Amino acid sequence: MDLRSSVELNNGLAIPWVGFGVFQVPPGEVTYRSVIMALEAGYRHVDTASIYGNEKSVGEAIRASGVPREELFITTKVWNDDQGYEKTLKAFEASRARLGLDRIDLYLIHWPMPSRGLFKDTYRALEKLYRDGLVRSIGVSNFLVHHLEELLKTAEVKPVINQVEFHPLLFQPKLLDFCRRNDIRLEAWSPLTRGRFLDHTVIRGIAERLGKTSAQVLLRWDLQHEVVTLPRSTKENHIKENARIFDFELSDEDMKALNSLDEGRRIGPNPDVFAG
């Protein structure tokens, strides 16, 4: 396996196991250079969102990189303020224009916002975009089991991805199991805990024993749970370091030790209450 290794989604489309995230990466030169460095390092999967404000910079980097479009997998997301059927269709066109792409590989609902009751209408818009051939796959982000259960009651196209906060401190085994049983691939945002737990005794201990970094251990943990993972960095050495996760394996004991760290501890908002 390497950065171009992929897994087949429930609609037959292949997504690279490891992507490059650009959350909180400033638009302009920082995003542009970060994406260029990631593509030069071998990444072929880039994840952005309208709320990040850097779609234009991502698109510019993609075009400047010289990497053929057919080798790339590009994800973006509809933000909370743009939910609803018609607003989502307009928001998608704005994202597509900023990225400068004819088609998006994956379009996600960024948050369920259950209090507003709009995610079913929003998803209907995603289904239209999918049927019209403007997106190659559709899915959701930050959906908990009960949100997915509600969506699946009316969805005509099953979501291929549920992108959620996922790391040993927030393992979410019930959500992982639900997605597996329903052929929805789980994808991890903030897999490196935004750096907050890289010095955790258990994580650091495993890393030192294996001669790896804590970041590499966390990303490998994702892969061994068959979870697509989205590390982020603006530093070239870390971008390359995060890619070196295919030359080792975590033992069953290591996996159990990391799983046992689960405290339900969120870095980001609770999807049941967050409305943006």
Residue at token pair 């290591």: 254
| 131/146 Cα distance (integer angstroms) | 26
Percent of the chain topping pLDDT 70: 100
54-67 pLDDT tens trace: 999 999 999 999 99
Per-position DSSP letters for 168-228, written without gaps between them: TTB--HHHHHHHHHTT-EEEEESTTGGGTTTT-HHHHHHHHHHT--HHHHHHHHHHHTT-E
Q: Please, are residues 96 and 104 in contact by the beta-carbon 8 Å criterion?
A: yes
Locate the domains of the chain by residue range: 6-259
198-214 pLDDT tens trace: 999 999 999 999 999 99
Asked about 52 being catalytic, the answer comes back as: yes
Task: Please report which confidence band the pLDDT of residue 38 belongs to, taking 50, 70 and 90 as the band edges.
Answer: very high
Query: What pLDDT sits at residue 207?
Result: 98
Average pLDDT value for residue range 6-27? 98
Helices (H) and strands (E) in the chain, counts: 10, 10
User: Which entry of 32, 43, 52, 123 is annotated as an active-site residue?
Assistant: 52
Positive or negative: CA dihedral 165, 41, 107, 228? negative
Query: What pLDDT sits at residue 95?
Result: 98
pTM to 2 decimal places: 0.97
Task: Please report which confidence band the pLDDT of residue 20 belongs to, taking 50, 70 and 90 as the band edges.
Answer: very high
Query: What pLDDT sits at residue 209?
Result: 98
First-to-last alpha carbon distance for the chain, in angstroms, is: 37
Q: Given strand 106-109, what is the order of strands in its sheet?
A: 20-21, 45-47, 73-78, 106-109, 138-141, 161-165, 185-189, 228-229
Cα dist from 112 to 139, 181, 251, 271, whole Å: 11, 21, 36, 7
Average pLDDT value for residue range 153-178? 98
With a cut of 90, say whether residue 107 has pLDDT above it.
yes
With a cut of 90, say whether residue 23 has pLDDT above it.
yes
Q: Which fold has domain 6-259?
A: TIM Barrel (3.20.20)
With a cut of 90, say whether residue 276 has pLDDT above it.
no
Query: What pLDDT sits at residue 253?
Result: 98
Average pLDDT value for residue range 18-47? 98
